[in-house]
């Protein structure tokens, strides 16, 4: 049987997902979509390869290989990953609780994933394809900024702030008003030769709270699709699915105080939420919103200076453990590189603003503010 192939490309870097099962590369096309130009491919394989299949015999063999000799264990994607590095540098690993097993050959840049069911294999293939591309981007000088982003005519508006500040709200309001959504929570950024800052998306299932869906007038449409039998991303907590089924609109929280949110595939951001996606942009404006429902939306000033704390680091980024050694030897940029990028971003027009309870009024403020081609600050 000829393998099905999805090629994923961004900023000149490529990862290929192959499988004998059509659904597994199709899942990667759906997951990365236009954000990272994931398309069906028929030509030669280029870049690292993720070969993912349903294969009970190979699953059993690789799992025994990982378990039957001295090994390490690490928490990974909600379960335990058992892994061992061989003398030749290859890595064998297994998640017995997920019926998944892995073998990575760094010299060939080839990661083998096998499992007992299509969905876990497809999810693992997309997750690790993203890690392989992430490692290439980091090695190429890209850094990760904690921001949402929307793009229009190549101009990217970056929205910064802590949890609950309004990053997702701002990006979605713009995306539903003629812009394109570039990112919901984080972006890759890198200086350009002419002194600008290029922005790339971080593909992921978009987590959007029940309360925000309701405020944006999207809750009823999402609930209707769920009641009709359509499904969101499988990482979504069952309590969220139950809330949508029962019609609950209030935010949900787990025992650690983290909000539980609906998890949308990238294509569902477009088809369910009406927010088209963008593949890149050049940073043109920075917003620092604050949600204050008791007030009308308003510009509150120039916003603050950017700091190194606005970037994700190895210590602050909530990443999966690098079991296979995919990351470059040094995952942190030199302090001078981060300082230079911070200075470039800080020269852009910046505004602090409050957003109120009325979606239409918030949208008008954002459209007026972001349509102004203000001169960079110095």
End-to-end CA distance of the chain: 60
Mean pLDDT, residues 197-210 taken together: 93
Question: What is the rounded average pLDDT of the residues 359-376?
Answer: 79
Question: Structure tokens of 223?
Answer: 């609930």
**pTM for the whole structure:** 0.92
pLDDT confidence of 374, banded at 50, 70, 90?
very low
pLDDT at 319 over 50: yes
The pLDDT value given to residue 378: 47
Phi and psi of 312, rounded to 5°? -80, 140
Of 40-44, 150-154, 317-321, least confident by mean pLDDT is 317-321
User: Percentage of residues in the chain with pLDDT exceeding 70?
Assistant: 96
Percent of the chain whose pLDDT exceeds 90:
74
What pLDDT score does 74 carry?
95
Flag the least confident range among 130-144, 212-226, 309-323, 343-357: 309-323
Residue 75 has pLDDT above 80, yes or no: yes
More confident residue, 195 or 45: 195
Q: Looking at residue 43, what is its pLDDT?
A: 82
DSSP string, 27-66: HHHHHHTTTTTEEE--S---S-EEEEEE-HHHHHHHHHHH
Alpha-carbon distances, residue 308 vs 86, 168, 341 (angstroms): 38, 21, 9
C-alpha distance from residue 311 to each of 189, 258, 357 (Å): 10, 21, 29
- Give mean pLDDT, residues 255-277: 93
- For residue range 212-248, what is the model confidence (pLDDT) as tens digits? 899 889 999 999 999 999 999 988 999 999 999 999 9
pLDDT given for residue 38 in this prediction: 94
pLDDT band of residue 373 (cuts 50, 70, 90) is low
Q: How far is Cα 186 from Cα 167, in angstroms, rounded to an integer?
A: 10
Distance CA 182, CA 201 (A): 5
Give the per-residue pLDDT at 376. 46
pLDDT at 336: 85
Mutual angle of helices 118-139 and 23-32, in 10-degree steps: 50
CB pairs under 8 A, 24+ apart, for 201-205?
A: 201/35, 201/36, 201/149, 201/277, 201/278, 201/279, 201/280, 202/144, 203/31, 203/32, 203/33, 203/35, 203/36, 203/130, 203/266, 204/130, 205/31, 205/233, 205/235, 205/236, 205/263, 205/264, 205/265, 205/266
Which is nearest to 189 in space by CA: 230, 229, 160? 160
Mean pLDDT, the chain, integer: 91
**DSSP of 330-364:** --S--HHHHHHHHHHHHTS-EEEEEE-S-HHHHHH
């Amino acid at each position: 049987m000829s393998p099905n192939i999805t090629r994923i490309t961004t900023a000149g870097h490529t990862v290929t997902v192959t499988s004998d099962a059509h659904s597994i590369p199709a899942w990667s096309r759906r997951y990365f979509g236009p954000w990272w130009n994931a398309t069906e491919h028929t030509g030669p394989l280029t870049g690292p390869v993720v070969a993912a299949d349903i294969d009970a015999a190979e699953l059993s063999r690789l799992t025994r290989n990982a378990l039957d000799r001295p090994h390490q264990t690490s928490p990974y994607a909600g379960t335990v990953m058992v892994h061992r590095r061989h003398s030749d540098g290859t890595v064998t690993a297994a998640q017995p609780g997920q019926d998944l097993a892995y073998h990575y050959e760094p010299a060939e840049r080839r990661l083998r994933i096998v499992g007992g069911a299509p969905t876990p294999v497809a999810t693992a293939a997309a997750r690790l394809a993203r890690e392989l591309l992430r490692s290439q981007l980091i090695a190429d000088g890209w850094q990760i900024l904690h921001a949402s982003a929307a793009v229009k005519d190549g101009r990217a508006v970056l929205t910064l702030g802590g949890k609950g500040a309004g990053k997702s709200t701002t990006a979605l309001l713009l995306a539903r008003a003629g812009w394109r959504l570039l990112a919901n929570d984080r972006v890759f950024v890198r200086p350009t030769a002419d002194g600008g800052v290029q922005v790339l998306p971080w593909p992921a299932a978009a987590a959007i709270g029940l309360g925000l869906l309701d405020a944006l007038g999207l809750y009823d449409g999402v609930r209707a699709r769920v009641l009709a039998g359509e499904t969101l991303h499988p990482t979504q907590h069952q309590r969220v699915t139950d809330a949508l089924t029962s019609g609950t609109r209030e935010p949900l929280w787990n025992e650690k105080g983290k909000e539980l949110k609906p998890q949308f595939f990238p294509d569902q951001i477009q088809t369910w939420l009406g927010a088209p996606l963008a593949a890149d942009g050049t940073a043109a404006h920075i917003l620092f919103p604050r949600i204050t429902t008791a007030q009308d939306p308003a510009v509150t000033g120039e916003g603050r200076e950017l700091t190194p704390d606005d970037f994700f680091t190895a210590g602050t980024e909530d990443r999966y453990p690098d079991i296979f050694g995919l990351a470059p030897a040094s995952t942190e940029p030199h302090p001078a590189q981060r300082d230079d990028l911070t200075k470039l971003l800080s020269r852009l027009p910046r505004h602090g603003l409050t957003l109120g309870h009325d979606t239409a009024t918030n949208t008008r403020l954002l459209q007026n503010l972001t349509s102004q081609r203000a001169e960079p600050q110095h």
